[in-house]
Structure 1
Amino acid sequence: MTTTALVRPSVRLGRMRDLALVPAIIVLLIVGAVIDPVFLSRANLVNVLQQQTELSLLVLAETLILIGGRFDLSLESTVGLAPALGVALVIPVADHGLGTEWSAALAVPLILLTGVAIGGLNGLLILRFGLSAFIVTLGMLITARGVQIGITGGQSLFTLPPSVMYLGNTAWLGLPLSIWICAALFAAGIGVLGWFRHGRAVYAIGGNADAARAAGIRTDRVMYAVFMIAGALAALAGLLMTGRLGSIASAQGSGMIFQVFAAAVIGGVSMNGGKGTLFGALCGVLVLGLITNILTLAGISAQWIQAVYGLIILVALVLARLTTGKAQDS
């Protein structure tokens, strides 16, 4: 059995489900316009897109792992640790640096390499040693968060190299650069998963790892690469957030994993692996961003937003049961 044959039904189902979110996005645009005319202004819509760029990269990373039949809880802590470590290695001690004072040109590469290292370590423990993905990534989340707090001393870092600020604080052709970056990465991801052998292999592994292995796919090698790519994407998300906010908070990224799973679930990505598309996941991110913006314009307290995310997940699970006859966690 070929890899293409293994994944074709899952891809078709994913396309049907994620296209269902397009009407929902249109409805949200209409509702937002009714609630406040400012909603459809260019400035507001660009602001919504820019604010969702970091989340979209995390969702891209998590979706790749979920399609492969695994998951990673530590992505949110990579958002904070990677930029904190990269910056601390280049700034002076007076600015809460580590005293190494390496060249500022190394800051961005160090940030991305930190993400790759975290993802690689997760992959090593899960794939090589056969440990539980839940326990490993939960432990990594806690460890990385603790290291971040230790590096920053529980304080925000405000002295940032220009290279760290650039990606999240620059506009190209009238749009923030972060939006172009996310669009390019999602386009690349959609192309790889849909047209390249290694991308189709991820679907095959998530659908049935034993069958994929019998078809000649090196399952551990493929998933190891996926974990490292996901770590790099999480680090890039942290870099964009740092540039947009102009600082690195000691708790940067905290709580984002709940939004990540909410976007993935409503975007039609299965928790069991082998099903879902990046387009659907991106639609899930847009739905969350529009809902958040509508609630804000309507004067709803931000404290209720987490409850809305949880409700969205539950509704998505019920819809998955009704439309496919199969629960996401079964």
Structure 2
Amino acid sequence: MAPTAELTPRSITRPRLELARYRDLSLLPVLLVLGVIGVIVSPAFLTADNLLGVGQQSTELSLLVLAQALIMIAGRMDLSLESTIGVAPVIAVWLVLPDQGSRFTGLGLLPDWSAVPLCLLVGALIGAVNGFLILKLRLNGFIVTLGALTLLRGLQIAISEGQSIVNLPSSLTYLGKASWLGVPAAIWICATLFLAGGTALAWLRHGRALYAIGGNAEAARAAGIRVDRIVWIVLILGSVLAAFAGILYTGHYGSISADQGNGWIFQVFAATVIGGVSLNGGRGTLFGALTGVLTLQLVVNVMTLAGVPPLWNQFLNGAIIILALIVSRFTSGEKQD
């Protein structure tokens, strides 16, 4: 009689773990199906103008997703990224632009070329303050970043006086409008940043440390990883990326609206989660997160070409988040409450 294989917890959970290995690629068939549907819906789908337009519209959201993915891999989340994309360029132009009367009350203290560095500096400052409150004062990260989201949104509306800011410095609008080799510069920049981030996570010591911290912060600390320092750096980097997304968005549309970025955090979480980044930390890749962004944008593009009212977009994003959580529950191999 042949011996009976012993059933162990490892052998029982093995199918889930094997399936989890392919979560980062799970959206590739979805993208293919969306492409086929797009071709059927409209012959304009495969035109260069349409595809480059989808890519251009994806860049700002992609940078927020890149920031959120890095933070979530480290076991944290940052809700204030939604406000940073708007408030950082608003503060920069407030310091750079002169008083425009009833249109905008600028201070005009600094030269035009400083608008981009100022914007990135504001982003870094927001991330640093969030990190201080979370890591040094040990406040709840969700509540801190939620409070920051509200505070920064109010600051943005107050400085912009509730209206759009136009006549912006050319240094602030160049990257959002420029094209390099026939492709929007924002797409080249976004692709480069994702490639750099993916390489860092895969090959650099600090990048690999993010997975260790997100998986078990205490074990990572016991292994000699400077957990608080690395998490603080990631929070700052995430806010800088959000501020840079604000630069691209501002240049793309040629103005800064009083509600710039409002409601984006839902799309950010939707793209990040369906792209395979775990809400519990320690799992996911930037490639998966990028496919999440492209999936959301292609869904919107196909719906637009099909004549579906854009009012359904928010409903669809919510449905995608819930579906992603269901998929995550059965493919991650993690126990969830």
TM-score (norm 1): 0.94
Asked if the contact 1:119/1:232 (under 8 Å) is kept, the reply is yes
Letter of the aligned partner of 1:283 in structure 2?
T
Letter of the aligned partner of 1:165 in structure 2?
T
Letter of the aligned partner of 1:155 in structure 2?
Q
| Cα distance in 1 for residues equivalent to 2:48 and 2:142 | 41
* Percent of aligned positions that are identical: 55
Structure 1 residues without counterparts, runs of 5 or longer: 1-10
| Cα distance in 1 for residues equivalent to 2:134 and 2:19 | 28
* Match 1:226 to one of 206, 223, 234: 234
Per-residue deviation, residues 219-256 of structure 1 (Å, max 9, x unmatched): 00000000000010000000000000000000000001
1:38 aligns with 2:44: yes
Per-residue deviation, residues 14-33 of structure 1 (Å, max 9, x unmatched): 65201111111111101111
Q: Following superposition of structure 1 onto structure 2, how do residues 79-94 of structure 1 map, counting pairs within 5 Å? A: 79-94=85-100
Per-residue deviation, residues 120-161 of structure 1 (Å, max 9, x unmatched): 111110111111111100110011011111111111100200
SS at match of 2:70: helix
Query: What's the counterpart of residue 261 of structure 1?
Result: 269
| Cα distance in 1 for residues equivalent to 2:65 and 2:18 | 21
Query: What's the counterpart of residue 332 of structure 2?
Result: 324
SS at match of 2:228: helix
Structure 2 residues without counterparts, runs of 5 or longer: 1-16
Asked if the contact 2:20/2:331 (under 8 Å) is kept, the reply is no
| Cα distance in 2 for residues equivalent to 1:73 and 1:212 | 25
Q: Following superposition of structure 1 onto structure 2, how do residues 1-330 of structure 1 map, counting pairs within 5 Å? A: 16-94=22-100, 96-326=104-334, 330=337
Residue 97 of structure 1 deviates from its aligned partner by: 3.7
Residue 323 of structure 1 deviates from its aligned partner by: 2.3
1:299–1:137 Cα change, 3 Å: same
Asked if the contact 1:87/1:97 (under 8 Å) is kept, the reply is no
Asked if the contact 1:38/1:44 (under 8 Å) is kept, the reply is yes
Asked if the contact 1:72/1:134 (under 8 Å) is kept, the reply is yes
Q: What is the RMSD computed on CA atoms of the aligned residues?
A: 1.4
TM-score (norm 2): 0.92
Residue 99 of structure 1 deviates from its aligned partner by: 1.9
SS at match of 1:93: coil
| Cα distance in 2 for residues equivalent to 1:126 and 1:240 | 29
Letter of the aligned partner of 1:80 in structure 2?
G
Asked if the contact 1:92/1:100 (under 8 Å) is kept, the reply is yes
SS at match of 2:45: helix
| Cα distance in 2 for residues equivalent to 1:174 and 1:118 | 35
Report the count of equivalent residues: 319
Per-residue deviation, residues 52-111 of structure 1 (Å, max 9, x unmatched): 100000000000000000000000100000001101111111252432431111111000
Letter of the aligned partner of 2:29 in structure 1?
P
Structure 1 outlier segments of 4+, above 4 Å:
11-15
